[in-house]
Amino acid sequence: MKRIMITGLVLLTGSFTFAQNAKSDIEERLESFNHPALKETFQAYMQPFADAFGGNMNSGLYHTAKVHKDGLHFYIGVETLWAFISNKQRKYSSLIDDPPSSLEVTDKPTIFGSDEAWSVDIGNQTFSIPGGKEIRALPVIAPRLTIGSVMGTELSFRLVSLDLPKNFGLLKITGYGLRHSISQYIPLSPIDICFGFFIQDFELGRVFKAQMNFFGAQASRSLGPLTIYGGLGIEKTTLTIGNAEGLLNIQPLTFDSDNRGRMNVGVCLSMLILKVHADYTIGNQNVVVLGVGIGM
């Protein structure tokens, strides 16, 4: 599992490294925006990261809408989450406002865009603005534990804390959620219906912190070993790019993702206690989920 998480981290960061003492590639890139006039440009550069990462972490939270009324039930599995980067997410436009003058820049590469750097003069200084890492997809690997049920209610957890080797830094993911059955109140309901919420926190190295919130309703129908499921939800991701240790020359920045409403549809195959599922999310950020686990 540790090797899997390390591999997922490398993919997540697009081969960025987070050294403990030396400045990493991503840290040096962020320092390029250290001027108040570049705040809007900084956010525009990183906005697709917030959207893709938030879309990923608010996915893979369920594979059925069936929540048992009572008894011991559990699921433990690993979810592979793939946020695909659109062409729109690879370029940005922004206003560089340095009174009494201002400059509008267009079609510049985001963190996921081309590696073409550019420069801008602000006052008596020239700032070299980095290009992107030419990333087409942002994959994340995340575990999930679900346990229930009491009065048609179940709890889900995500918890990872690894001091990764080779100076990657400390990776922390903590999250919890609750789902409650609605179909238990509907006699002879042909489908399972539930609603729930999930709250997650993420830290990586000394640069990124994020909180993800999701609330939504799900429905599913079982046909033998197959379960067809889907859901509608509202999500919010708040990303903070900062420097808690005071080692980087950057202005802290906090902003929300553009993700709001989402819907998904998927299918789960059950073979005794083995569960294999896949689903696709449509929203501001489209995400593909592949998951495998055991449950009963």
Q: Which residues of 61-90 are buried (b: 16+ CB within 10 A; e: fewer)?
A: bbbbbbbbeeeeeebebbbbbbbebeeebb
Cα–Cα nearest to 295, from 44, 74, 8: 74
User: Looking at residue 6, what is its pLDDT?
Assistant: 41
Could you give the CA distance from residue 137 to residue 10 in angstroms, rounded to a whole number?
13
pLDDT (tens place) for every residue of the chain, 296 residues total: 444 444 444 333 333 333 345 566 677 778 888 888 998 999 999 999 899 989 999 999 999 999 999 999 999 999 999 999 999 999 999 999 888 788 899 999 999 999 999 999 888 889 999 999 888 998 888 899 999 999 999 999 998 776 644 444 567 889 999 999 999 999 999 999 999 999 999 887 778 888 999 999 999 999 999 999 999 999 999 999 876 565 566 778 899 999 999 999 999 999 999 999 999 999 999 999 999 999 98
Q: Is 87 helix (H, G, I), strand (E, B) or coil?
A: helix
Cα–Cα nearest to 215, from 278, 185, 260: 260
**Whether the Cβ atoms of residue 152 and residue 183 lie closer than 8 Å to each other:** no
Question: Strand 226-241 relative to strand 192-204: parallel, antiparallel, unpaired?
Answer: unpaired
Sketch out the chain's domains with CATH numbers: 2-295 (2.40.128)
User: Looking at residue 13, what is its pLDDT?
Assistant: 38
User: Looking at residue 1, what is its pLDDT?
Assistant: 44
- Its pTM stands at 0.85
